[in-house]
Every structure is written in C-alpha cells, then in structure tokens.
Amino acid sequence: MKKGLLIGCGVLGVLLVIALIIFSWAVGIYNNLVGLNEEVLKAWSQVENQYQRRYDLIPNLVATVKGAADFERGTLNDVINARASVGQLKVTPEILENPQLFQKFQQAQDNLSSALSRLLVVVENYPQLKANENFLALQAQLEGTENRIAVERKRYNESVQVYNTTIKRFPAAIIANFTGYKEKMYFQAAAGAERAPEVKF
C-alpha cells in the first residue's frame, strides 16, 4: 500500500511539474503576444498623430490659398472634401484587424494626399501665392508631415510584420487563436502608385 502511494505521489508530482512547465511556457508566449500587440498599437498611434497633424494644417493652407481670388476652386474643393471625408472616419483599434475598414481608412487618407499633391502642383501657376510667406511656411510643414507619415507608416508595417509572423508560427499560433489575437492589416501603396505621375505645364 505504501509503495503504491509513493508511486502515485511521484507520478502526481511529475505531472504537476509538467503542467507547471506547460503553463509557464504558455504564459511566456501570451506575454510576448501582448508586448507585440502593444508595439503595433504604439506604431499605429504615431501614424494617427501624423495624420492629425496634416489634418490640422489643412484649414490654414486652405485659408491662405483662398486669398488668391482667381485660384482654381475645383482643386481647393477637392482638398476641403477629402479633409471632411477623413474627419468623418471613426478610428478604433479594431480597424487594424478589419480589412474593409482599414482599406476605407487608407483610401480616405490616400484621397487627401492626392488632393493636396494636386493643390501644390497647381500653385506653381500662381506666382503671388508662391511668394506668400505664410503659404511657403505651410507648404514646408505639409511636406515635412507627408514625410513623417511615410516614416511612421513604414514603422507601423514593420511592427505588424513581426506581430503577424509571431501569431502565425507554431506554437504561438495556438495561444494566439485561443486568446483572440488576430492578424493586423498593412498599409499598402495607393492604386497606380507604380506609375510615375504625369506632370503637364
């Protein structure tokens, strides 16, 4: 009887040690996923900060350009409408896991970028606007913001790549599926970006 009890206790002890090792392993993987998810969210917030900076600069740019009475209203209206479209989007962390919402967000931002690019190209035909110090300062800030957006989108994509790779690899995939970690969306180039833009004078 004592021998059976000792063997039973020994087996139970070994099983408890194995269970503790498996639990520790799962906790380690889960904690890594939490850290990677937070890294993605941090990178996302930086992208949002730069988009917000651009969004805040546009009213000043529009007000300055409106001063040129004969300025092309269609181009200016495109910028105003694109900004309004971006302002209507409600951005939540869930957007990062929803391809349709993420594409809609990216499309709105790409439309705004495109409208701003057209505005800055059209400005070349207005020497009095090009000589306006306020406009030049706003143009420089906007160009700097566009560069910052590109950098932050790149950093975001890098953190998403690490996160997505981790949640797809075994054995982390098991923990990720069990705990609800889903694939995040990447920023992609705008449609037609592979073709050089036509510049007509």
The answer to whether residue 33 is domain-embedded is no
| pLDDT tens, residue by residue, 47-87 | 989 988 888 888 888 777 776 655 667 777 788 888 888 88
The answer to whether residue 193 is domain-embedded is no
**pLDDT for res 188:** 81
CA-based nearest residue to 120, from 61, 196, 38 = 61
Q: What percent of the chain has pLDDT over 90?
A: 20
| Confidence category of residue 40, pLDDT binned at 50, 70, 90 | very high
Residue 74 host element (H or E):
helix 73-88
The answer to whether residue 21 is domain-embedded is no
DSSP assignment of 144-185 equals HHHHHHHHHHHHHHHHHHHHHHHHHSTTHHHHHHHHT--PPP
| pLDDT tens, residue by residue, 136-172 | 888 888 888 889 999 999 999 999 999 999 999 998 8
**pLDDT for res 191:** 60
Report the domain count for the chain.
1
The answer to whether residue 172 is domain-embedded is yes
For the entire predicted model, the pTM comes to 0.77
The answer to whether residue 156 is domain-embedded is yes
The answer to whether residue 78 is domain-embedded is yes
| pLDDT, mean over the chain | 83
Query: In this structure, how many other beta carbons lie within 10 angstroms of the beta carbon of residue 59?
Result: 11
The answer to whether residue 119 is domain-embedded is yes
Distance CA 166, CA 200 (A): 47
CA-based nearest residue to 120, from 196, 175, 40, 65 = 65
Q: What is the CATH number of the domain that holds 126?
A: 1.20.1440.20
- For residue 171, whether the previous peptide bond is cis, meaning omega lies within 30 degrees of 0, is yes
The answer to whether residue 5 is domain-embedded is no
108 lies in which domain range? 40-179
